[in-house]
Structure 1
Amino acid sequence: MSEKLLVRRAAVLGAGVMGAQIAAHLTNAGIDTVLFDLPAKEGDPNGVVTRAIANLAKLSPAPLADRSLAEAIVPANYDTGLELLGDCDLIIEAIAERMDWKQDLYRRIAPFVPEHAVLASNTSGLGINALADVLPEELRHRYCGVHFFNPPRYMHLAELIPAAATDQAVLQGLETFLTTTLGKGVVYARDTPNFIGNRIGVFSILATAHHTAESGLGFDEVDALTGPLIGRPKSATYRTADVVGLDTMAHVIKTMADTLPGDPWHAHFRSPKWLEALVAKGALGQKTGAGVFRKVGKDILVLDTEKQDYRPADRKAADEVVDILRTRDPAEKFAKLRASEHPQARFLWAVFRDLFHYSAYHLADIAETARDVDLAIRWGYGWSLGPFETWQAAGWRQVAGWITEDIAAGKAMSDAPLPAWVLDGRDGVHGPDGSYSPTRDARVPRSDLPVYARQRFPDPLLGESFAEGETLFENDGVRLWTDGDGVGVVSFKTKMHTVSDQVLDGVQEAVGIAERDLRALVIWQPKEPFSAGADLAGALGLLQAGKVDAFEAMVANFQATSQRIKYALVPVVAAVRGMALGGGCEFQMHAARTVAGLESYIGLVEAGVGLLPAGGGLKELAVRAARAAGPGGDVFAELKTAFETVAMGKVSKSAIEARELGLLRAGDPVVLHPHELLHIARRQALALAETGYRPPLPARAIPVAGDVGIATFKMMLVNMLEGRFVSPHDYEIATRIATVLCGGEVDRGATVDEEWLLRLEREHFVALAQMPKTQERIAHMLKTGKPLRN
């Protein structure tokens, strides 16, 4: 059994961009965090840190899940605050990448580090054992490297790098903490320069740069080839370099050159001339407004190395190469790439060949298994498949033969031979029994650390599958299954998990089966999003065909489904991550509880397409406002946030912000690891069932803000209309939203029931839907994916 790492308080040393963001993410996870830096030269000694905390609110994407969390971070400095380390259970050092500075700091803090605390360095590539040399003996077994990828809130990868003296129990405790508390995917890296992610990832960028020059392709052309077409992020290669910072890029390349003199690829570890020139003139990428790419007005320009100037970025992937890359069978695709004479195809084959060659050659030095490499690259660089998975999918033996031929012909970037294990007749490195480890010369299964039992469906590698349980019911819209634990799991089968007629009927059927045969029900999707909302295309079709009755029946069925969720005789728990928009948001609002991943983007966005929420969302907000106001209280005051949220179509930037917007309840748990969401939702559902769950009693006397509330909202809206902040159609939509939220034209303080509010939702929804301007908005959204302001 591993030792549990109990973290009541943590410290981060270094309030630079990375240190401040690590402190922010610890705070997102509910950990009391102290952030340290040097004392300010004048004024408040904690001024350096105070400014860094204030700066967190300006960064995009936002490091904090809610701006108010900034107040929870405790500022401190090394001169007057080191006693604060005495209360800390975890100390993460994140100062600049200089061995001497880090070691000086370790000498300084060592007397203050409590005897149980874990000390970790967030270094991106310095030697962990070398850093540990200056630590007192009693601290060495509690020291290791932990490398967060930037930005730490959003990047799933954390590399754990043991030093020679690190205790196994300390590592397992830290791995568990990083996984379940901070929501990270952990891989173990050996203590080698740049560890796994940056060693392979930066080599891939260097190989791409080398072959860009060799092939004479443009940077824009290469980005068109090395993005989504090959399963990588839209920022591809050179746009990624601009975002990371060309100075950072040059620094990492120099680190490889300085620290890996014996690497057979060492001759290629140097910044290309164009990169040196850009850095020299201060064109460092996105942060300076120019790098490989430059934006001028609305135009994107790209550096042309021949002209030594910028030109329009208009070179694309060639049609014949796009056709090759769209080949379904990976083995056929790679055979076509290698056989093609097209410069773009030859470029891609060369980049893949050298990446495979480098990864295989260095696997034994940098990682225990091929799994660690593939997951590090997927989680750290956003690739859909890691290098070994890509190679295996393309036909291991065939590709290994081609690489061997190219090495012999002098075409590869290095003449180093492939390791013997690559050519031993194997078909790959991953399988159901685990992933290959060169040091053990065997396949090694996934970790059996107890924390991983919380992941019913971990991120699968090629060759792995995690069977979903027994199917209890299925139609074209949903599938209901169970593992035999008394909890049914219902998942949507539609694109973007939109809510169609089949989904509505399927959810109602699933609730009925759960009431009859199960103890609880969870609504969960295997992949994001939770739900992009109602099926707009189907709705628009009915309206354009003049089938208003059928349209109204669909809305009534939507409301009936929400009410079925709310009043089910077993607890229904919504497990939300990614987008939960419109109807998706309304479903989770009606659940007995929502368990939300931190990265949940929740909102009632119907106003953007000229409609209002009519799946019971406005009704629920009115009920919640009445409950919050209490007997005789001011319902209107409680409605203000709700009105603004819905009328402006606000979407939360995190689950924590969704609570602030009133779209989640205060007691709805927030989960940081996306693959633990289902586990926690099922446990919550069973806990509710264990305590004798009963649905809420129907709300039959809901006090509303009435005509006075509507008039007050209208006054605010008239000012916005006259100031041209909203269009007349926006005014129309917002007025109707206000009318439903306030319970219609009744006296202030009058009481209504849920049916009354649902009828108001339906009437105003159907009226808006028949307006030409709304239909224009819906059609525009379906065509472009963007809202129309008309």
Structure 2
Amino acid sequence: MSRFQVKKVAVLGAGVMGAQIAAHLVNVRVPVVLFDLPAKEGPKSGIALRAIEGLKKLKPSPLGVADDAALIVPANYEEHLTLLQDCDLVIEAIAERMDWKLDLYRKIAPFVAPHAILASNTSGLSITKLSEALPEEMKHRFCGIHFFNPPRYMTLVELIATPSTEPQILDDLETFVTSGLGKGVVRAKDTPNFIANRIGIAGMLATMKEVEKFGLTYDVVDDLTGKKMGRASSGTFRTADVVGLDTMAHVIKTLQDTLDEKSDPFYSSFATPAVLKELLEKGNLGQKTKAGFYKKVGRDVLRYELESGEYVPGGQKGDEVYARMLKKPAAERLKLLRNAEGAQGRFLWAILRNSFHYAAVHLASIADTARDVDFAMRWGFGMKQGPFELWQEAGWLQVANWIKEDIAAGKTLSNAPLPDWVFSGPVAEAGGVHTPAGSFNPTSKQFEPRRQLPVHERQLFPESVLGSNAQRFETAGKTLHEDAGIRLWTLDDEVIIASIKTKMHAISPEVCEGLMAAVDMAEKGYQGLVIWSGDEPFSVGADLQSMLPAFMAVGVAAIEDAEGFMQQTMLRLRYAAVPVISAIRGMALGGGCETAVYSSRRVVAMESYIGLVEVGVGLVPGAGGLTYIARRAAETQALTTHKDLLPFLTEGFTAAAMAKVGTSALESRKLGYLLESDIVVPNKDELLFVAINEARAMATAGYRPPLKRLFPVAGRSGKATIQGQLVNMRDGGFISRHDFHIASLIADVVTGGDVDAGTLVSEEYLMALERKAFCSLIVNPKTQERILGMLSTGKPVRN
């Protein structure tokens, strides 16, 4: 690993991107100073202060916890430039004006520490031209760093070198951005809009041209170009609204100003679309102004109509025949679309063909390898596959010949031929640009492996491109046991990995049996156990659907047995003689949350969503979740001098009764589902590495499980207090009668039932109360309505 350490960062510019970059830095616990111009009135750092305050109101939230906005230090260029001397990384993120940026560089240059990296977060300006304003001694540690919006959620960060940038600088920065910020790094060439925006915005412009040509509406296009096509669910025009139509117009202008017919044969298609011009003139900039291609009025979503200049009812879907085509294997899918007679099918083929054509023509000028393009489009534009991956999967030469025919027929946006390497040489022989040896570099004419830095060794199963034949976790290592529900395996003969295989990693009786077996194996000859299922979610909870047949055949006794077995599994995890680590990514809900809280420790990706959500299907947590809430309240109280247990119980009760879910690992910690000792990992691909090493470290340190002990509960007086609040909520119309009934059952369990305050109880005692409450609800008609509604529609039923 590089010794370069980022102990503090300065972000220059408190606009939308600068403030959100600062927010993500505090999410990953990096101290940050946010600079902007001195305010003309009020506090000199007022601009930065207002931007920091504004972070709390943004949706989706750029902060893991809103209160962490206070960790960002506000500053201004007039009073605080000396603060730069303590910063190891300075990220400039001011407006996209070359003259403003150059002026700022001259101002800050004397104050930037001699070892610090200076990077510009520009979306398309020349990094080399920007470097010209810097003194010679700084040029070698200057580069471009392009975050995608919103920085907390978007994986892609493009790094761009100048001819003077020292290679070690980019290696150091890639190491920090990968492991410290949790991002996927692609190194781009210093060309207009770099890789993702060059291909992506050109693709959006091409799509808009094809929309006009085929006469489709924006809602139909978004339906076709969203999830059905393996792209971001927002499709094309909703994505533009989210990004901001002014931002999109700026990126388009960069293409218009920095390219021409000679440098880009597709240049004629870069004209600003008429509809975009019209919306900009109206001040309809998308989501930020609540009107763009779409406008929400009450519960209705309207779409813009260019012909009338008005918003009209939206919600139209694409023809189902094309939805079925898009589900076909790649080769069949593209053939069907190319031969389609309907406008929607011809439109879909056209935009796919255009993306292949553009990417191939420009690959050599914008990126080192085809891998960089595919990763950039995946991570920056939410595509399941990059353009080269889809092209290769569909049959490289067949698709290439179709494109060639369309070029000859004048159907394409440009008559530029596909490069020679498409039809002959290594790519044609290999059947595509991605091979086990690496991805194609059109400059060297070779397949090149992915760059390897020491930080990449932390990614045991990183994302890979189609055709690379990268080892998959499903078949890696040595299998110790495998069935339909779970695989137990090891990479090192020291730590067992338990990977749940059920749909959405639901916890079935078979999964419980597998976890029990995993603990038995680990105790006999391993250092620990890691529960890690490879991809999202960690687990959505108990497999209710698998319980229903037993319930119908045997009755509630079958449910009680299943819940009892789940509870035994949780206690087995908690009291295992070896450390049990839950490695969490994505959702850990219901039984998934219970699995996590009964583990010895949790290693959690930043974007994890943890909570007890059983109320949504009319149930209470039944596998130890409520017992955990009661025990944690008692443990927390024991660390204080307070004698009243109820205040320590209230937050846990509220979280379960309202089905609160932490919207980040940091918020889940505030809700009590994670402890301060648990580890938050910014990069999801490092979870398994960190979890295995944590299990080893705990074992080496002489891990012993907690001793079983009794703990006090709040008793009937505590329940009465909670019940009084619930009555007010019911009578005030805030909750339904069934909600009141469920919440009352939760209150009964977490307070210990009909006992005196301070009574000492065991986990088994509270789990018995949980089972009783759970089973009483499973036979309740209103709960059954909620369960069936969720299973059939995926949405909660309020009754």
Shorter chain as normaliser: what TM range?
A: over 0.9
| C-alpha contact 1:120 1:145 (8 A) present in aligned 2 | yes
User: C-alpha separation between the residues in 2 aligned to 1:94 and 1:471?
Assistant: 49
Unaligned runs of 5+ in 2: none
**Are positions 1:722 and 2:731 aligned together?**
yes
Please name the residue that 1:731 is paired with: 740
| C-alpha contact 2:2 2:454 (8 A) present in aligned 1 | no
Code of the aligned partner of 1:451 = V
Offset at residue 698 of structure 1 (A): 1.1
Instruction: Using the TM superposition, name which of 315-324 and 499-508 deviates more.
Output: 315-324
- SS for the counterpart of 2:35 is strand
Instruction: Using the TM superposition, name which of 706-715 and 73-82 deviates more.
Output: 706-715
User: C-alpha separation between the residues in 2 aligned to 1:614 and 1:362?
Assistant: 57
**Are positions 1:365 and 2:371 aligned together?**
no
**Are positions 1:513 and 2:512 aligned together?**
no
Instruction: Using the TM superposition, name which of 510-519 and 13-22 deviates more.
Output: 510-519
1:761 pairs, out of 765, 770, 781, with 770
1:711 pairs, out of 697, 716, 720, with 720
Please name the residue that 1:652 is paired with: 662
Offset at residue 53 of structure 1 (A): 0.4
What does 1:210-609 correspond to in 2, within 5 Å?
210-261=209-260, 262-327=263-328, 329-424=329-424, 425-426=428-429, 427-464=431-468, 465-467=470-472, 468-545=476-553, 547-609=555-617
- SS for the counterpart of 1:109 is helix
| C-alpha contact 1:3 1:170 (8 A) present in aligned 2 | no
- SS for the counterpart of 1:615 is coil
| C-alpha contact 1:246 1:285 (8 A) present in aligned 2 | yes
Offset at residue 603 of structure 1 (A): 0.2
Offset at residue 125 of structure 1 (A): 0.4
**Are positions 1:674 and 2:673 aligned together?**
no
Code of the aligned partner of 2:707 = L
User: C-alpha separation between the residues in 2 aligned to 1:641 and 1:165?
Assistant: 55
Offset at residue 685 of structure 1 (A): 0.6
User: C-alpha separation between the residues in 2 aligned to 1:371 and 1:436?
Assistant: 8
Offset at residue 303 of structure 1 (A): 2.5
Instruction: Using the TM superposition, name which of 400-409 and 141-150 deviates more.
Output: 400-409
Unaligned runs of 5+ in 1: none
Offset at residue 77 of structure 1 (A): 0.2
User: C-alpha separation between the residues in 1 aligned to 2:294 and 2:20?
Assistant: 27
Code of the aligned partner of 2:68 = L
**Are positions 1:744 and 2:753 aligned together?**
yes
- SS for the counterpart of 2:119 is strand
TM-score after normalising by structure 1: 0.98
Please name the residue that 1:112 is paired with: 111
User: C-alpha separation between the residues in 2 aligned to 1:536 and 1:494?
Assistant: 12
TM-score after normalising by structure 2: 0.97
Code of the aligned partner of 2:661 = V
User: C-alpha separation between the residues in 1 aligned to 2:547 and 2:732?
Assistant: 33
- SS for the counterpart of 2:123 is coil
Distance change in 2, residues 1:462/1:683 (3 Å): same
Q: Deviations over 1:726-778 (max 9, x none)?
A: 22221211111111111121111111112111111111111122221111111
| C-alpha contact 1:573 1:685 (8 A) present in aligned 2 | yes
Please name the residue that 1:786 is paired with: 795
Instruction: Using the TM superposition, name which of 563-572 and 181-190 deviates more.
Output: 563-572
Q: Deviations over 1:700-726 (max 9, x none)?
A: x21111111111111221221221212
| C-alpha contact 1:540 1:778 (8 A) present in aligned 2 | no
Offset at residue 544 of structure 1 (A): 4.5
Q: Deviations over 1:498-555 (max 9, x none)?
A: 1111111111112112222322110011110100111122334444446111110001
Offset at residue 782 of structure 1 (A): 1.4
User: C-alpha separation between the residues in 1 aligned to 2:724 and 2:631?
Assistant: 24
Instruction: Using the TM superposition, name which of 301-310 and 255-264 deviates more.
Output: 301-310
- SS for the counterpart of 2:513 is helix
- SS for the counterpart of 2:662 is coil
User: C-alpha separation between the residues in 2 aligned to 1:776 and 1:342?
Assistant: 42
Code of the aligned partner of 1:373 = V
Offset at residue 16 of structure 1 (A): 0.4
**Are positions 1:127 and 2:126 aligned together?**
yes
User: C-alpha separation between the residues in 2 aligned to 1:514 and 1:768?
Assistant: 37
Distance change in 2, residues 1:367/1:44 (3 Å): same
| C-alpha contact 1:5 1:170 (8 A) present in aligned 2 | no
Code of the aligned partner of 1:435 = S
User: C-alpha separation between the residues in 2 aligned to 1:299 and 1:648?
Assistant: 28
Q: Deviations over 1:580-628 (max 9, x none)?
A: 0000000010101000111110001112222111111111221111111
| C-alpha contact 2:537 2:588 (8 A) present in aligned 1 | yes
- SS for the counterpart of 2:38 is coil
Offset at residue 106 of structure 1 (A): 0.3
| C-alpha contact 1:543 1:770 (8 A) present in aligned 2 | no
User: C-alpha separation between the residues in 2 aligned to 1:321 and 1:577?
Assistant: 33
Offset at residue 634 of structure 1 (A): 2.7
User: C-alpha separation between the residues in 2 aligned to 1:557 and 1:319?
Assistant: 44
Offset at residue 3 of structure 1 (A): 4.3
Offset at residue 630 of structure 1 (A): 1.2
Aligned length in residues = 787
| C-alpha contact 2:91 2:121 (8 A) present in aligned 1 | yes
- SS for the counterpart of 1:394 is helix
User: C-alpha separation between the residues in 2 aligned to 1:573 and 1:208?
Assistant: 47
User: C-alpha separation between the residues in 2 aligned to 1:21 and 1:354?
Assistant: 33
Distance change in 2, residues 1:3/1:614 (3 Å): closer
User: C-alpha separation between the residues in 2 aligned to 1:537 and 1:269?
Assistant: 52
Code of the aligned partner of 1:624 = R
Please name the residue that 1:771 is paired with: 780
User: C-alpha separation between the residues in 1 aligned to 2:317 and 2:781?
Assistant: 39
**Are positions 1:691 and 2:690 aligned together?**
no
User: C-alpha separation between the residues in 1 aligned to 2:745 and 2:222?
Assistant: 47
Q: Deviations over 1:173-195 (max 9, x none)?
A: 00000000000000000000100
User: C-alpha separation between the residues in 2 aligned to 1:692 and 1:472?
Assistant: 25
Code of the aligned partner of 1:420 = D
Instruction: Using the TM superposition, name which of 120-129 and 240-249 deviates more.
Output: 240-249
User: C-alpha separation between the residues in 1 aligned to 2:9 and 2:306?
Assistant: 48
Offset at residue 314 of structure 1 (A): 4.5
User: C-alpha separation between the residues in 1 aligned to 2:580 and 2:442?
Assistant: 47
- SS for the counterpart of 2:481 is strand
| C-alpha contact 1:579 1:602 (8 A) present in aligned 2 | yes
Please name the residue that 1:7 is paired with: 6
